[in-house]
Amino acid sequence: MGNNIVLPYSGHIPGGISVGTDVVISGRVPHSASVFSLNLCVGPTYNQGCALHFNPRFDQNQVVRNHMQGGNWGTEETHGGFPFRRGMGFEIHMKVTHQGYKITINHRHFCDFHHRLPKESVQYIYIEGDLQVNFIQFRGGTSVPTPAFPAVPAYQPAAPSYPPAPAYPTGPSYPPAPAYPPAPAYPSGGVGPIYNPPVPFTTAIPGGVYPGKIIYITGIPNPNPSRFTVNIMCGPSEGYDISLHCDVRFNYGNDYNMVIRTHMQGGNYGPEEKHQNYFPFVPNASFEMMILVEQNGFKIAVNNQHFTEMYHRIQPIQRATHVSVNGDLRLSQVRFQ
């Protein structure tokens, strides 16, 4: 796999980390490397607080481990030698335990780092410096850009409790436009997150829908799911028009690993759009969906990657007032910006 991630890189960790989370980073050290750092952070960079700062320094032949709180670095730990070489490929695992982080490099134990900040405070990974990163993976969490998870147990999913969308001809294909604003670190100017809401879930969109509005949905599809649906609706319940019907189908009808987009007006669904370059959802693996409202349509990103978009079919766009989520998933967080 090539160099897929541009540095410096800051990525939100949907659902954060917990005991058992294994943070995996695969990459290569350039021949000209001087220093790089891997950081598990409270905010988008370590300046807002850093629970683990892992900092190989080639000119000093040291790997510095530290934390930052209140803008101040703590006490450095440097024991354990220097396991990196310029030009070397590596796979680093940072396994979260009750006591701290257990760090292995190329499947050999390197060091332990005791918790200095609560693991629950970690919401971002931040990487900078002289290295090429092929992929970042949170086992049991999300993966950038390609997930690899163990097979899920096979059992029959519960029958969907909501009516299927009728089949319509495929809609037109639109060119991608992958420019998204960064995810905010809360607290911010947005409205704070709603944690672990029950499914089905419906809530008003604070401030309504307008260009620039962003809706973040973090969840975990059930093992062996059939489908789940995200609707941006013109009212608080079924029967109202739907500006965006985003139906994620793992195994539903004749659709496998397909995301259907359409709208509903006057009780009738419109043409379906099915074009997609990849399917970004994995059973039992956390995801973050970001829906950005623009003047001409909705743009959708999943796990910080542009996925698709759909032109507005219901006008004015301000008619949309609520978001709902239904189906075979557990919701971790819903938030707005």
pLDDT tens-digit series, residues 62-111: 999 999 998 899 999 999 999 999 999 999 999 999 999 999 999 999 99
pLDDT higher at 155 or 203: 203
**Count of CB atoms situated within 10 Å of the CB of 112:** 15
How do the domains of the chain map onto residue ranges? 9-144, 191-336
Work out the angle at residue 311's Cα, subtended by the Cα atoms of residues 306 and 214, and round it to the nearest 5 degrees.
Answer: 55
Is a pLDDT exceeding 70 seen at residue 285?
A: yes
CATH topology of domain 191-336: Jelly Rolls (2.60.120)
Is a pLDDT exceeding 50 seen at residue 301?
A: yes
Q: How many CA atoms lie within 13 A of 117 on its CB side?
A: 24
Q: Comparing 9-144 with 191-336, is the CATH topology the same?
A: yes
Mean pLDDT (the chain, rounded): 84
Residue 296's alpha-carbon distances to 182, 233, 309, 312, in angstroms, are 20, 17, 10, 6
Can you tell me the distance from the alpha carbon of 247 to that of 262, in angstroms, rounded to the nearest whole number?
A: 9
Give per-residue pLDDT as tens, 245-277: 999 999 998 889 999 999 999 999 999 999 888
Q: Please give the pLDDT value at position 180.
A: 54
Q: Please give the pLDDT value at position 268.
A: 92
Confidence band, pLDDT 50/70/90 cuts, at residue 188: very low
Instruction: Give the least confident one: 18-27, 167-176, 296-305.
Output: 167-176
Architecture of domain 9-144: Sandwich (2.60)
| 3-state SS, residue 121 | helix
Q: Please give the pLDDT value at position 138.
A: 85
Report whether 250 contacts 227 (CB < 8 A): yes
pTM for this entry: 0.48
Q: Please give the pLDDT value at position 174.
A: 38
Edge to edge, the sheet with strand 255-265 lists 201-204, 322-327, 227-233, 242-252, 255-265, 268-269
User: Which run of H or E residues covers position 305?
Assistant: strand 305-311
Give per-residue pLDDT as tens, 141-184: 433 433 333 332 333 333 334 444 444 344 343 344 445 555 44
Confidence band, pLDDT 50/70/90 cuts, at residue 233: very high
Neighbour-count burial of 302, counting CB atoms closer than 10 A to its CB (0-12 exposed, 13-18 middle, 19+ buried): buried
| 3-state SS, residue 188 | coil
Instruction: Give the least confident one: 145-159, 219-233, 264-278, 286-300.
Output: 145-159
> Going by C-beta distance under 8 Å and a sequence separation of 6 or more, which residues neighbour residue 306?
176, 177, 178, 180, 299, 300
Can you tell me the distance from the alpha carbon of 126 to that of 117, in angstroms, rounded to the nearest whole number?
A: 16
